[in-house]
Amino acid sequence: MNHGRRAAGAFAMILAVSASPAFATNLNLRLQSGASSFITVAPGTLVNWTLVGELNDNANEGLALFSVDLSWSGGPLAPAAAPTASPMLNFARPAGVTNPAGFGGTTSAGTLLQVGGGQNTINSTFAPYPIGTVITGVAWPGQPVALATGQLTAPAQPGFYSLSASNVVANVIRQGETGIPFWRVDKAGPGSMTFLTVQVSAAAGDTQARSRR
């Protein structure tokens, strides 16, 4: 069987299983670097970024799935990093399921499409993935989670540039679910979004050079 088609099919199944059409909960997102959504760097600087997610209420059992497109006005984006710790490990293969290109997203004309993945809410045990257990309470209010991380390169030309998110898709585990026979989910709407603004300044390079002397 084609692994790309299998991943896409599983991703669509987890997105669709018992998802209600209404949005009771929203997923708020913010893009930041070093805990800030506005930074000033020198031209050519390698910038670490983080996508932070937090649900606007706890009338659910936490985040089940998320997918988001990312674009950088300063040039093409490399795929996001593969998760290395819980809870995001449970959203990536093999514990979870992602689009065929993986958790880090599909590159298309410099944009990253469908960054993210979903937990094994269908309780699959017969395929190579998803095979993980479900973690509840992910991204509840007051418990923001680093959903994805990555790096971008500041352009050579001074100016203001933005790392932005769009096409947000998310599911939350329905309140009261126990996972028997599977975890029912509800669609979550896109909430507030804070983008990362990067000011590229030659003066920042001069300041950094002096600080190293």
Tokens of 200: 């590229």
Q: Facing residues of 29 across strands? A: 53, 193
3-state secondary structure of 2: coil
Which domains, from first to last, does the chain contain?
Answer: 3-211 (2.60.40.680)
Of all helices (H) and strands (E), which one includes residue 209?
A: helix 202-211
pLDDT of the residue at 16? 52
Nearest to 67 by CA among 204, 142, 167: 167
Q: Cβ distance 146 to 52 under 8 Å?
A: yes
pLDDT of the residue at 126? 87
pLDDT of the residue at 19? 52
pLDDT of the residue at 213? 47
Residue 88, C-beta contacts closer than 8 angstroms, at least 6 positions apart: 103, 145, 146, 147, 148
Q: How far apart are CA 6 and CA 100, in angstroms?
A: 8
Q: Cβ distance 41 to 160 under 8 Å?
A: no
User: In this prediction, what percent of the chain has a pLDDT beyond 70?
Assistant: 85
pLDDT of the residue at 208? 53
For the chain, residues with pLDDT lower than 70 are 1-23, 205-213
